[in-house]
Structure 1
């Protein structure tokens, strides 16, 4: 299993046998002659390739992996706020995206207000409105449809609970508790200013809005569960083709305006993601530098890491950095499986953790043992 596959997903488990503080190994197939000195030039095709058959999700309310938030948030979907698109520590700085600022808190940070920039539009030319953002938030409450994605809105918005402890609002399809939801998010008369009313103080609420799940969806274009196959674009590119185990093709969104977007500078004319690529073929592309402007979304197989990463001619086409994720090996503790605590303890102490790490690339290319689910590089509250 490749490193990026393991570390790019957020794997949640109630019982873990081993936790790995894994590092990210990213491999880019950019033409090595130009990688270090080339300046961005408008035009051409940017090629991504992966062994995966598809993206886990394209529906913004379902997307929860760092890789997919970064990819789709860079090209297709915008949010009220975003992170500054620069390397290093400054890349953790919050900046305005669709909104005019990073939000105005009041009422002890239980109320947050944002105003949309003029000129922000969908791929069909219609403006992105407060109602679109509000509707996007409402979809998270349809928990019978959307089981993936961040669930913070369910506990943050000032909406009472039902008798079973769930939200009294059941989402835009059932409309149960709709009036309660409408009180929790208000839109101005011009449909450009949105106010979130929270049940408690959330001082870092605006950071949540970097998630695509906090972004807009136009109600008229919502196809429910099928929206996961063809979401609308508010970014510089839109989806021309998406075929599982084949490819995704992104082309320029003719209704995106640079004047309304301080974050993105779209250089390529189109972006192609090739799915289902054989892992040996994928690795050979990187080892032989076969595809100009190509990016391996997975990382290499462990057997090829040394050949690639210790080759000085490839130093400008690779990254090997810590990511913010911890990988778990989870035990199924349901009845009839590992439901005995003593058995789980035995498995835990007998499991050869180091062999798993060595098989996956060792300390240099995979990671080190963790002693709890929180990554050492992440500060604890």
Structure 2
């Protein structure tokens, strides 16, 4: 069965090359924290939509402060990520050979207005995520649930029969096929409960009915989002969220360079702030010059991937030898320098990223630190394109992505290929690139998996169902053999079996060379001196907002 899924951080990661992994500065995270104070989170985002149906938020970031789901992520410094119960009593009871999953809600759960949370509220929240007017959120569940492929949401189609609520505390999911990662899927934003009588699809994202430790007190898009305590949140039912600060303010539309300089100075409100946007090369250089700021930097281990996708359905790039030539022609060292040096990234050779269980290291195209130009020229000559190949490279028009594109251009042109960089607005670029007939030859992309399974590395980027139609298969790659491996790995409920199949798919894809793995990024985030429990674990490459506290 072919599935059409949507990548999570997909667009955000690909657009900004915001990638990931392990620990850095700040004190160790605890499950209890000192309460009080106002935490300010600085973000370059120009708006924050809080509608869970439209959100691509990670479980540990913004929406996780306001909305709970059936499960969530237990993210601790120095430990592997775990999926744990949130609203549910466990991570799911599986039956019917992996195709039926049952959850029971905990006792005493309430919305911020004091009304009880029921299984019907969870069902309705999921159903509304299918509505075309609420598109843009994570869509893994949409084609996994029986009938989901054709369902258009509750506003027009009523109930989705594959989600059953036999009583107020029980919810049952019926899937098209076995799916071992379902406990991770129900941790995604769409699985937050929504009371039907409070739902207005046009405005719900401004002030959703909270189930987490915070609720919205003010939301001025483009300027600031303010959260205050939800007094109907019960800590005894929520072992993951510490709810330290009394108030959390998201300051939007912040310039990364200006915010970095403010945090380096560490004066006034900067002491109780952190920057939610990862630092680029220029910002890292500034921090490294200031010993105090450097101590407040949290940097991940190597994790998510940046890559060069080759349009396998276009011109000379249909030829495997041409694609292999580009694998060798790229200058890895120059690209790493453009990303900010060894503090920002290490070289990548596989598609499954570090920190993901079951990853196997290999390198099918060993080319040294600088690339292997002679090998590239040999392959181009064998393909009949020794000196006549002209390719267009799409890259976002911000300085960071343009510097990286130029590093790629210079490396590839050493092999005799003429590369023209086309700078594009990031939103326009990915809208066009994920459409049905884009005219790029090469495109610079990046990927942060939506959950810590190789499923999140492989399926969204290389399943043939993800070509066009909004899918993130930017290489426009199609292989029946790989599709079969993906289906087998997805259906496996035994983790060891699934991991083995994903590793096979990884290497099989690279034999066809649809992309050049470039780097595994190391993201760095800066906090003020009064911010505590500010860290990055092995996955994902973002601070855990749910556990941040302030010095008192």
Scaled by the length of structure 1, the TM-score of the pair is 0.78
Higher relative contact order (CA 8 A, sep 6+): 1
Asked if structure 1 preserves the Cα contact closer than 8 Å seen for 2:57 and 2:189, the reply is no
Partner residue, 1:79: 69
Partner residue, 1:360: 339
Match of 2:149 among 148, 164, 167: 167
**Aligned ranges 1:136-285 → 2 under 5 Å:** 136-142=125-131, 144-159=132-147, 167-175=149-157, 178=158, 181-182=160-161, 184-189=162-167, 191-285=168-262
Partner residue, 2:56: 64
Match of 1:286 among 257, 263, 269: 263
Question: Number of matched residues?
Answer: 344
Q: Any idea what SS the aligned residue of 2:177 has?
A: coil
Partner residue, 1:54: 47
Match of 1:326 among 284, 292, 305: 305
Deviation at 1:23, TM superposition (A): 4.5
Unaligned runs of 5+ in 2: 1-7, 360-453, 455-501, 503-552
Q: Separation in 2 of the partners of 1:341 and 1:231?
A: 50
Partner residue, 2:427: none
Q: Is residue 93 from structure 1 mapped to residue 70 from structure 2 by the alignment?
A: no
The structure with the largest helix share of the pair is 2
Deviation at 1:65, TM superposition (A): 4.2
Q: 1:324 to 1:80 in 2, by over 3 A?
A: farther
Q: Separation in 1 of the partners of 2:18 and 2:250?
A: 28
Deviation at 1:157, TM superposition (A): 1.5
Superposed CA offset, 1:334-355 (max 9, x none):
9xxxx54459969967776654
Deviation at 1:80, TM superposition (A): 1.1
Superposed CA offset, 1:313-367 (max 9, x none):
3454111113653234567999xxxx544599699677766544323312322x2
Superposed CA offset, 1:195-252 (max 9, x none):
1122222233112111122222221222214323322210010011122221110000
Asked if structure 2 preserves the Cα contact closer than 8 Å seen for 1:27 and 1:299, the reply is no
Asked if structure 1 preserves the Cα contact closer than 8 Å seen for 2:74 and 2:83, the reply is yes
Q: Separation in 2 of the partners of 1:84 and 1:37?
A: 11
Asked if structure 1 preserves the Cα contact closer than 8 Å seen for 2:263 and 2:271, the reply is no
Q: Any idea what SS the aligned residue of 2:218 has?
A: strand
Q: Any idea what SS the aligned residue of 2:301 has?
A: strand
Asked if structure 2 preserves the Cα contact closer than 8 Å seen for 1:140 and 1:146, the reply is yes
Deviation at 1:135, TM superposition (A): 0.8
Q: Separation in 2 of the partners of 1:52 and 1:37?
A: 26
Moved more, 316-325 or 270-279: 316-325
Q: 1:140 to 1:23 in 2, by over 3 A?
A: closer
Q: Separation in 2 of the partners of 1:374 and 1:260?
A: 35
Deviation at 1:192, TM superposition (A): 0.9
Q: Separation in 1 of the partners of 2:283 and 2:239?
A: 39
Q: Separation in 1 of the partners of 2:122 and 2:17?
A: 37
Asked if structure 1 preserves the Cα contact closer than 8 Å seen for 2:89 and 2:105, the reply is yes
Partner residue, 2:112: 123
Superposed CA offset, 1:80-119 (max 9, x none):
11222432225x2222111112211122222111111111
Q: Separation in 1 of the partners of 2:120 and 2:331?
A: 53
Unaligned runs of 5+ in 1: 1-7, 160-165
Q: Any idea what SS the aligned residue of 2:215 has?
A: strand
Moved more, 228-237 or 79-88: 79-88
Asked if structure 2 preserves the Cα contact closer than 8 Å seen for 1:186 and 1:194, the reply is yes
Q: Any idea what SS the aligned residue of 2:338 has?
A: helix
Q: Is residue 297 from structure 1 mapped to residue 292 from structure 2 by the alignment?
A: no
Partner residue, 1:110: 99
